[in-house]
C-alpha cells in the first residue's frame, strides 16, 4: 500500500511540475510568427500577411510596443502597436513585391530594451 500511495504522490508532483513549467513559459517575453518562411509574391497587387503575436511580462496598459523589422540589407523599419491588459499583443506585416528575398530579423522592444527576437525568410 505504501508503494501505491508513494507512486500516486510522485505522479502528482510530476504533473504539477509540468503544469507549472508550461504556465511559466507562456508568461515570458516572446514573439510568435504565423510563418517563418514566406514565398514572395510575383504580382504587384498581391500582398501576403505575416501575423505577429507575442507577450510582454510586466506590460503596462497603454504603453507602446515597438517591433524592429531588420531587412537583409540592414535597413530597419519600426512597427508600433499596443498590448492588452495581460501583456499580449499582435500586429500584421504586409509583404508585397517590394520585399527582397532573404532572412529578416524581428526584434521586440519594450521600455527601451530589446526583450525578444525571431527570424523569418522570404523566398
HSE-CB for 98 with a 13 A CA cutoff? 3
Residue 94 phi, psi dihedral angles, 5° rounding: -90, 120
Position of cell 503575436? 53
Give the global pTM: 0.75
Distance, CA of 19 to CA of 37 (rounded, Å): 31
Span 63-78, mean pLDDT?
98
2-32 pLDDT tens trace: 554 444 444 443 444 433 333 334 569 999 9
101-113 pLDDT tens trace: 999 999 999 999 9
Distance, CA of 93 to CA of 54 (rounded, Å): 14
Q: Give the domain ranges of the chain.
A: 28-122
Q: Which CATH architecture has domain 28-122?
A: Sandwich (2.60)
- The average confidence (pLDDT) of the chain is 84
Question: Has residue 120 got a pLDDT over 90?
Answer: yes
pLDDT at 98: 87
Amino acid at each position: 500500500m505504501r508503494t501505491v500511495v508513494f507512486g500516486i504522490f510522485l505522479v502528482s508532483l510530476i504533473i504539477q511540475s509540468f503544469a507549472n513549467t508550461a504556465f511559466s513559459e507562456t508568461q515570458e517575453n516572446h514573439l510568435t510568427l504565423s510563418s517563418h518562411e514566406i514565398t514572395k509574391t510575383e504580382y504587384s497587387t498581391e500582398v501576403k500577411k505575416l501575423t505577429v503575436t507575442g507577450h510582454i511580462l510586466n506590460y503596462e496598459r497603454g504603453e507602446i510596443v515597438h517591433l524592429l523589422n531588420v531587412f537583409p540589407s540592414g535597413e530597419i523599419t519600426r512597427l508600433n502597436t499596443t498590448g492588452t491588459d495581460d501583456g499580449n499583443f499582435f500586429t500584421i506585416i504586409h509583404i508585397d513585391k517590394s520585399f527582397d528575398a532573404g532572412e529578416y530579423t524581428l526584434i521586440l522592444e519594450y521600455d527601451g530594451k530589446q526583450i525578444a527576437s525571431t527570424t523569418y525568410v522570404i523566398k
